[in-house]
Amino acid sequence: MANKSQNWILMATAQTPTNIAVIKYWGKRDETLILPINDSISVTLDPDHLCTTTTVAVSRSFEKDRMWLNGKEISLSGGRYQSCLREIRSRANDVEDEERGIHILKQDWEKLHVHIASYNNFPTAAGLASSAAGFACLVFALAKLMNVKEDQGKLSAIARQGSGSACRSLYGGFVKWVMGNDVNGSDSVAVQLANDTHWDDLVIIVAVVSSRQKETSSTTGMRESVETSALLYHRSKEVVPKRILQMEEAIQNRDFPSFAQLACADSNQFHAVCLDTCPPIFYMNDTSHRQVLIISYIEKWNRSEGTPQFIRVGKESMLNVGTKVSYWMFYVLGDKSILQDAGIEAMKDVEALPPPPEIKGNIPSQKYKGDVSYFICTRPGRGPVLLADESLALLHPKTGMPK
């Protein structure tokens, strides 16, 4: 060991976006490596609105790896955390900070312990892929701390082993998770289709209908679908590959009618496969069910005007249903300020309702009456970033414990 002082704590803090799939990931071909049965495509959501912040710290004084999620210590013994930690450590490099007297050699990392603190500014396990942002942020922050030199694609393959959809959060904008062919998963990585400025008038409104945890976990649900659904294999082999190509084209051309139609059709098919599972899985609750009816009306309305119309905020909206929440996707033509007008003012009457307990302060939580807990109004956003401002760290720089 080259260090004289044992008292230093080296930290890195990163912020990583979550993402919403518009062509769904449902079904694994390998449960340990988390390899999917089909490609998927997502939109990365602006981390200014929804994100995970993670601080990782290393010190020779840490006695074991520890992690705090939303302020509460959680176990790192699970296979998914262990996979990510192992994969990142094995790619660590020398780190030197002359000024602070920090000298860590590549081989030291296997023996050094880390502290991790992570915070989601939106409800965990409420359908917003908090695990996606979480594992992406963990892997990204550790990679920075440990001077890992692999590119984002390689990091995405590591994040994937924490949570499948996490790999898509390594990039901003529009992202494809390529299922890959290798049995070791090396080619099952995320690739960016377009960055976050490519389609800057696409707006996404997330209507969180329930912040309850879902009754069937994605892992269990996927396994049961793979084992029992008579339709899933056909979906993954025949339907999704065509939709992936169409969706890539729609994104490239900023073709909203095709984009919305594909996203809705794929979301519905995801729910269809869940229903075709034995026992059937219901991720749509009564509220999203009612909201799905809105798709139906909107589509009919679109049809009556010929080809699908652009959807305007306020009066008409396009609905897409996610795992447990409903997403309205708005395309704003012309004056984008209507978005603020419609988005905020329409919800005045329900603003008085208290936000769900998980919500801490900083996200807009305008609510609709009834079952919709709140709306989140956002847009495609950037990928992970390192936060230089040390005051934003979630661990105390002197103790390495949560602030």
Within positions 214 to 243, which residues make up the interface with its own copies, using CB under 8 A? 215, 228, 230-231, 234-235, 238-239
CB of 178 to its own copies, least distance (A): 21
CB of 301 to its own copies, least distance (A): 10
Q: Which is nearer to its own copies, 81 or 270 (CB)?
A: 270
How far apart CA 216 and CA 301 sit, in angstroms, is 34
Three-point CA angle 80, 176, 250, nearest 5°: 150
Q: Which of 2, 183, 245, 278 binds its own copies (CB under 8 A)?
A: 278
Burial (CB count within 10 angstroms: exposed 0-12, middle 13-18, buried 19+), residue 48 = middle
Structure tokens at 368: 């609709």
Q: Which is nearer to its own copies, 115 or 271 (CB)?
A: 271
Q: Which of 94, 286, 349, 351 binds its own copies (CB under 8 A)?
A: 286
Whether the Cβ atoms of residue 76 and residue 118 lie closer than 8 Å to each other: no
Q: Please provide the DSSP assignment of 187-245 as one string.
A: T--EEEEE-TTTTTTEEEEEEE---SPPSS-HHHHHHHHHHH-SSHHHIIIIIHHHHHH
Q: Is 254 left (phi over 0), alpha (psi -120 to 50) or beta?
A: left
Size of the site for its own copies (CB under 8 A): 34
**Residue 258 binds its own copies (CB under 8 A):** no
User: Sign (positive/negative) of CA torsion 206, 211, 212, 214?
Assistant: positive
- Tell me which stretch binds its own copies (CB under 8 A): 43-51, 245-253, 287-295, 338-346: 287-295
Q: Which is nearer to its own copies, 265 or 350 (CB)?
A: 265
Q: Which is nearer to its own copies, 80 or 289 (CB)?
A: 289
Q: Which is nearer to its own copies, 239 or 385 (CB)?
A: 239
How far apart CA 286 and CA 132 sit, in angstroms, is 26
**Residue 295 binds its own copies (CB under 8 A):** yes
**Residue 297 binds its own copies (CB under 8 A):** yes
Determine how β-strand 113-120 pairs with β-strand 66-69.
Answer: parallel
Query: Which stretches of the chain bind its own copies, using CB under 8 A?
Result: 215, 228, 230-231, 234-235, 238-239, 261, 264-265, 268-269, 271-273, 275-282, 286, 289, 292-293, 295-297, 299-300, 362
